[in-house]
């Protein structure tokens, strides 16, 4: 999973020795590359890169370039939609990221790792923090593009309960209550301290609050505004459920929130398209605008399936087999035009919004695009 802190760490690398990093980005989606078709692209990209380098630089990265090519030959990795590999001195420094969204492909040779596409992904697809909170325990999870990772636990055990057997009952009622309040306060202070730090370092913009019913209201009331204003919803859960169970409980909350946000984007799309102001609806116009590289945001229903054609020489997409309208090249048929449209959109600097179960979009052809101009 992409981790903002780790990326910042890599970005801060000083390189006084003058070695070069080779960073490679590539769409490797098994859907659009069922037979490892990305190999042709890998070879072309690496060859072009090697040819464009000055001799002394090429000497320094020759082995890295071979290493990258061998990675794709040797491995049968569990690819997602895209991959990022960064190497220096033939694997002495090696980073490998698998992403669930397409990236802009390319090879970059420089004295520092090329991280812009990764930071871009972090920005575009916001992460959610799930905070599971009780009176003496807290667990933090990060949900990013459907993945969940537990980051840590904060336990503040009750000292009296621990050391004095029967201590709970030995205390008078009001002392007991004061003690409990004091103890919960200590715990919350610690949670707030660590959470604030984490939210800032990880660039978290949304928090989903979970836990036993009675602590949910406590969380809402006692967390400082800087944290509570990020809460987008809540769910009840036991403190000791597995991360998978927590994800299942948090998922509907996150999805409901995102649905709301996506509805707004669809509304913008529809309004603009109807006024003929920088937006198009339906397959035909979207494919055309993709060819003109004008798509800023592509909105697509995940149930959308479409066959089509791609240009053999320039890669442009079309619905029909007629020669490429951009370069005149021959077309070959493809079964997965939507996935290619998504890749092309990102390649050209746009973004992709997958919008499930939106009636408006479904009635308007399941696909549309907000344009740059």
Query: Which residues are near Zn ion by CB under 5 A?
Result: 311, 314, 316, 324, 326-327, 329
In the numeric block, the tokens 């698998």 are attached to 98
Contacts for 167 with CB less than 8 Å, ≥ 6 apart:
160, 161
**Residue 273 phi, psi (nearest 5):** -65, -40
d(CA 370, CA 373): 9
Instruction: Supply the minimum distance, in Å, between the C-beta of residue 317 and Zn ion.
Output: 9
Beta bridge partners, 208, equal: 130, 233
Residue among 288 and 354 whose Cβ is closer to Zn ion: 288
User: Smaller CB distance to Zn ion: residue 164 or 325?
Assistant: 325
**Residue among 124 and 313 whose Cβ is closer to Zn ion:** 313
Read off the DSSP letter of residue 241. -
Taking the complex as a whole, the smallest distance from the CB of residue 331 to Zn ion amounts, in Å, to: 8
Angle between helices 173-202 and 4-11 (to 10 degrees): 40
- Least distance (Å) from Zn ion to the CB of residue 322? 11
Minimum distance from residue 316 beta carbon to Zn ion (Å): 4
Cβ proximity to Zn ion: between 28 and 311 the closer is 311
Question: Helix or strand or coil: residue 279?
Answer: strand
Please say which residue, 257 or 326, places its beta carbon nearer to Zn ion.
326
Q: For residue 111, how many C-alpha atoms fall within 13 Å in the half-sphere facing its CB?
A: 5
Q: Supply the DSSP symbol for 229.
A: T
| Residue appearing with tokens 């895209």 | 82
């Amino acid at each position: 999973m992409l981790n903002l802190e780790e990326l910042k760490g890599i970005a801060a690398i000083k390189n006084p020795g003058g070695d070069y990093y080779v960073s490679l980005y590539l769409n490797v989606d098994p859907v659009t590359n069922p037979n490892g078709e990305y190999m042709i692209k890998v070879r072309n990209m690496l060859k072009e890169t090697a040819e464009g380098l000055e001799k002394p630089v090429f000497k320094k990265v020759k082995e890295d370039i071979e290493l990258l090519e061998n990675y794709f030959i040797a491995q049968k990795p569990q690819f997602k939609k895209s991959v990022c590999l960064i190497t220096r001195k033939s694997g002495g420094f090696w980073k490998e990221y698998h992403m669930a969204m397409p990236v802009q492909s390319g090879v970059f040779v420089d004295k520092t790792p090329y991280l812009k596409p990764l930071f871009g992904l972090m920005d575009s697809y916001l992460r959610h923090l799930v905070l599971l909170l009780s009176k003496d325990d807290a667990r933090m999870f990060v949900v990013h593009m459907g993945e969940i990772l537990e980051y840590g636990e904060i336990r503040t055990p009750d000292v009296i309960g621990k050391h004095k057997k029967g201590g709970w009952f030995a205390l008078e009622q009001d002392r007991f209550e004061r003690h409990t309040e004091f103890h919960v306060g200590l715990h919350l202070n610690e949670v707030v301290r660590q959470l604030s730090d984490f939210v800032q370092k990880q660039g978290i913009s949304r928090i989903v609050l979970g836990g036993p019913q009675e602590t949910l209201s406590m969380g809402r009331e006692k967390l400082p505004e800087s944290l509570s204003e990020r809460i987008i919803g809540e769910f009840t859960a036991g403190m000791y459920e597995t991360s998978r169970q927590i994800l299942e409980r948090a998922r509907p909350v996150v999805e409901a929130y995102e649905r709301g946000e996506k509805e707004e984007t669809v509304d913008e799309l529809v309004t603009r398209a109807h006024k003929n102001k920088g937006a198009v609806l339906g397959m035909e116009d979207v494919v055309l605008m993709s060819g003109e590289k004008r798509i800023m945001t592509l909105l697509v229903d995940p149930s959308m399936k479409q066959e089509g054609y791609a240009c053999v020489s320039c890669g442009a997409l079309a619905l029909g087999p007629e020669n490429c309208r951009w370069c005149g090249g021959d077309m070959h048929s493809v079964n997965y035009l939507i996935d290619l449209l998504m890749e092309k959109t990102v390649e050209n600097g746009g973004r992709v919004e997958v919008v499930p179960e939106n009636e408006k979009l479904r009635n308007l052809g399941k696909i549309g695009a907000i344009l740059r101009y």
